[in-house]
Amino acid sequence: MEGANVTDLELVRAAVAAREDAYAPYSHFAVGAALLTADGTVYPGCNIENAAYTPSNCAERTAFFQAVREGRRAFTAIAIVGGPAGEPVSGRCAPCGVCRQVMMEFCDPASFRVLLGTGGDAFEVHTLEELLPWGFGPADLGHGSAGEGSCCS
């Protein structure tokens, strides 16, 4: 999905669609995410589990890693929806600590918005700063923002 003016609701719906691809045979908990770049491109993600458990990847990181692999570094929002597989979303799925830390690497915590779908077209809006107060990020190591084109390899 592309377009300079992706709405919050479109982003939440993109996360709901991405959830259809979840591979969650162990937890039976299906998660979808949709990550929005500063120029309006949407990167979908789903959770991908593994028989060895620890290699499993959350929906949020699937979206981030695909986007970064394609050279994207500037993000404005992510929508997340999750719940028991095979059932419609009926409550919030908050991102895990590891995913919050990945967001911290690439996003400005004060302005990056995290949309948590709560069922149907309903969603909550938070900032990364709310979800990860006092986060440790690139600036703590003397690095500038990881924004588009500004980072080294």
Annotated catalytic sites, by residue? 60
From 36, 93, 102, 131, residue interacting with ligand THU (rule: CB under 6 A):
93
What is the number of helices (H) and of strands (E) in the chain? 4, 5
Q: How far is the CB of 147 from ligand THU (least distance, A)?
A: 24
Q: How many chain residues are in contact with ligand THU, going by CB under 6 A? A: 16
Q: How far is the CB of 3 from ligand THU (least distance, A)?
A: 25
Q: Using the rule CB under 6 A, is 29 a contact of ligand THU?
A: yes
Q: Using the rule CB under 6 A, is 96 a contact of ligand THU?
A: yes
CA triple 20-6-57, angle to 5 deg: 35
> How far does Cα 88 stand from its chain's mean position?
19
Q: How far is the CB of 123 from ligand THU (least distance, A)?
A: 14
Q: How far is the CB of 44 from ligand THU (least distance, A)?
A: 13
Nearer to ligand THU, 28 or 143 (CB): 28
Distance CA 12, CA 8 (A): 6
Nearer to ligand THU, 48 or 151 (CB): 48
Distance CA 67, CA 50 (A): 22
Map 4-57 to HEC letters.
Answer: CCCCHHHHHHHHHHHHCCCECCCCCEEEEEEEEECCCEEEEEECECCCCCCCCE
Give the DSSP H or E segment for 79.
strand 75-84
The contact set with ligand THU (CB under 6 A) reads 24, 27, 29, 31, 47, 49, 56, 58-60, 80, 82, 93, 95-96, 99
